[in-house]
Amino acid sequence: MAQPSAPPISSIAAFPDKEYVDVARACSILGVKWLTVVRLAQSGFLEMIDYRYHSWKKIRYQSIVDFCDELRRVYRIPDRRPKLSAPYLRYRDEDLLPFPMSITMFADEALAALGVANRRVLPLLVEEGRFEAYRLVVGSPWRISRPSFAEYLKEAHSGPQSRAHAYQRMPGDYSL
């Protein structure tokens, strides 16, 4: 009786590399283009494995997680990610950024909603904590949380009028 032979090497599935992700996935996670990921790696924000000039590049996954955690810390955005049930599990890609790209708006849309043309207004509002926003690096576009911005607009439109009416006296009312 013949011994069964081992399957050819090409049919064996490769083990996934859990420590690194390719640049395309890093681009998808961060919502940027390939060149931006490379620049973030060159600046020291991400750890990249760069074997040769024309080879496939890989980004260390934990450096992406650490970078996104640092964004949360710097811009005082609370961590709303679901808790992991085991330490060896990973967060979903859309949970890594301070808030998902699906609820992100950019500076032009926010300025139009505010009715302001001066871009210097946004950093002041972010510093005051009016709404949640972050930038990947200094000079990059602001990414603003659409729900927190909508809440800010709602408060800005209803707040001052309701407070102004609360303190006005009615004619003929002389009580203190």
Domain boundary among 42, 74, 106: 74
Q: Classify residue 10: in a domain, yes or no.
A: no
Q: Classify residue 7: in a domain, yes or no.
A: no
pLDDT per residue over 7-16, tens digit each?
555 544 454 5
Report residue 164's pLDDT band, with 50, 70 and 90 as the boundaries.
Answer: very low
Q: Classify residue 24: in a domain, yes or no.
A: yes
pLDDT at 1: 55
Q: Classify residue 38: in a domain, yes or no.
A: yes
- Residue 81 token pair: 């990610």
Q: How many domains does the chain have?
A: 2
pLDDT per residue over 61-86, tens digit each?
999 999 999 999 999 999 999 898 98
Helix axes 146-167, 107-114, angle to 10 degrees: 20
The Cα 134–Cα 130 span in angstroms is 13
Query: For the purposes of burial, counting CB atoms within 10 Å of the CB of 46, is it exposed (0-12), middle (13-18) or buried (19 or more)?
Result: buried
Q: Classify residue 87: in a domain, yes or no.
A: no
Asked whether residue 141 falls in the same domain as residue 104, the answer is yes
Asked if residues 104 and 143 have their Cβ atoms less than 8 Å apart, the reply is yes
Q: Classify residue 176: in a domain, yes or no.
A: no
CB atoms within 10 A of CB 61: 20
Asked whether residue 106 falls in the same domain as residue 154, the answer is yes
Residue 162 has pLDDT above 50, yes or no: no
Domain range holding 144?
94-167
